[in-house]
Structure 1
Amino acid sequence: MSVIDAYLGAAGQAAALLEAPEVATAWGQPSALAKMTVGGLAGHLAYQILSVSSALQVCDSTVQESPPQEPPIPLLEHYARAAWIDVPLDGEVNSGIRAKGEAIASQGASWLAELASTSFVEQRTKLAQCSGDQAVFMPQTGWALRLDDFLITRMLELAVHMDDLAVSVGLAVQELPEEAFDLVLVLLARLAARRHGQAALLRTLTRVERAPAAINAI
């Protein structure tokens, strides 16, 4: 199965979660994430789908875009450069992420669920016209990724924030499709090994008596 198919499986689950009545009922309540309402968290989750719609202009032969200034960077380099990793909760980056989530959700649960669902349906058609090697420029970072790598970043975000949102509203956490989970798991394992070292990761998975206290990937 392709990365595109794996993304569509995860995005479809996220779109369905956004339609859950429990999400709408708890909209203005605090979420499982500090300083973020359920609505704001839902907005941040929906953004992971909406950002793909913006990126898909690279697949449209009728749209004349300037090529990226630099070639796509490797996926792990993307996370090495990421401004949001290890920044304080009240820092400018995280405050901006929370504010953007709240802004996206500002028109309510039903509107957001419909927007995410519509975007997802359109993506199923548009992604069929795409190649995973096409470069996707991300204005928010200033660099480009291959489309496949960009979709893997979205799957990681979808996996993490579907869990956050389900926990926030008391729903059982739905397992990702196997193909999507495998891609997310490999990325997280590589990030964790880079942060803590291979031995720490191996010991956490196989030797609990020698496992470190933390093995977080991000």
Structure 2
Amino acid sequence: MITPFLDTAQVVSGLLRSPALAERWERPSALAEFRVSGLAGHLARAVFNVERWLAEPPRSGGTPIDAVAYFLSGADPAPDLDGAVPRRIREVGEQEAAGGPAALAKEFDAARARLAALLPTLPLDRPVGVFAHLLPLEQCLLTRLVELVVHLDDLAVSLEVTTPPVPAEASDAVTVCLTRIAVARHGALPVMRALSRRERATGPIAAF
């Protein structure tokens, strides 16, 4: 999971350095209530937060969960965009982006470089505190990989540019994770029908 995470972060770096980002920095994004700047800051946090969490001593006690359980515990399929949590997410994204697009890209690249040196030295089962949860490092990276891939597309759509391709290993891992979340939310049969038999599909099967 280390290589897909770092390689996808490298793809994100290219978009964060896109002239289109600077041009549209203060405009609304493709996500409701998010400006492009805040969305870029939120995307960058997928790397920033890994470094922050790893700076904390490993937690003792508690039962680690996997990425699917993490997303199921916190993702509201129909969130109130004016609620405290969505509002806080937007605020923190703007805080990360406060220095402007060039500064954000520079900080992102620096954090990625530090993680490229640190991550290979750590065991993949190292417990990591991810907000209120405890995840093995490998699952922690998977949650952030999902964030990178999903919000890379959000930002590209917001900039009206082609979404950059991510490595196959990354897209495979994210697709499996999202499918498992969708199965947990909607059941296996509706997911299988939606993917294989459009005439029997019963409706949206989105993970989020």
Amino acid at match of 2:63: P
Give the corresponding residue for 2:145: 155
Once the two structures are superposed, residues 137-167 of structure 1 have per-residue CA deviations (whole angstroms, 9 ceiling, x without a partner) of: 12x3x22100000000001111111001011
Identity across the alignment (%): 37
Task: Tell me how many residue pairs correspond in the alignment.
Answer: 208
TM, length-normalised to structure 2: 0.95
Give the corresponding residue for 1:167: 157
> C-alpha distance in 1, partners of 2:187/2:76?
21
Give the corresponding residue for 1:210: 200
Contact 1:87/1:93, CA 8 A, preserved across alignment: no
Which segments of structure 1 move beyond 3 Å, counting only runs of 4 or more? 83-86
> C-alpha distance in 2, partners of 1:170/1:75?
30
Once the two structures are superposed, residues 158-216 of structure 1 have per-residue CA deviations (whole angstroms, 9 ceiling, x without a partner) of: 11110010111111111210001111000001011111111111111110001122110
Pick the aligned partner of 2:102 from 69, 91, 110: 110
Contact 1:83/1:93, CA 8 A, preserved across alignment: no
> C-alpha distance in 2, partners of 1:66/1:122?
19
> Does residue 21 of structure 1 match 2:19?
yes
Contact 2:58/2:129, CA 8 A, preserved across alignment: no
Gaps (5+ residues) in structure 2?
Answer: none
> Does residue 7 of structure 1 match 2:16?
no
> Does residue 143 of structure 1 match 2:141?
no
Alpha-carbon shift at residue 55 of structure 1 (Å): 2.5
TM, length-normalised to structure 1: 0.91
RMSD between superposed Cα atoms in Å = 1.4
Distance 1:50 1:84, change over 3 A: farther
Distance 1:217 1:80, change over 3 A: same
Once the two structures are superposed, residues 56-83 of structure 1 have per-residue CA deviations (whole angstroms, 9 ceiling, x without a partner) of: 336xxxxxx3633413123322123216
Distance 1:161 1:66, change over 3 A: closer
Gaps (5+ residues) in structure 1?
Answer: 59-64
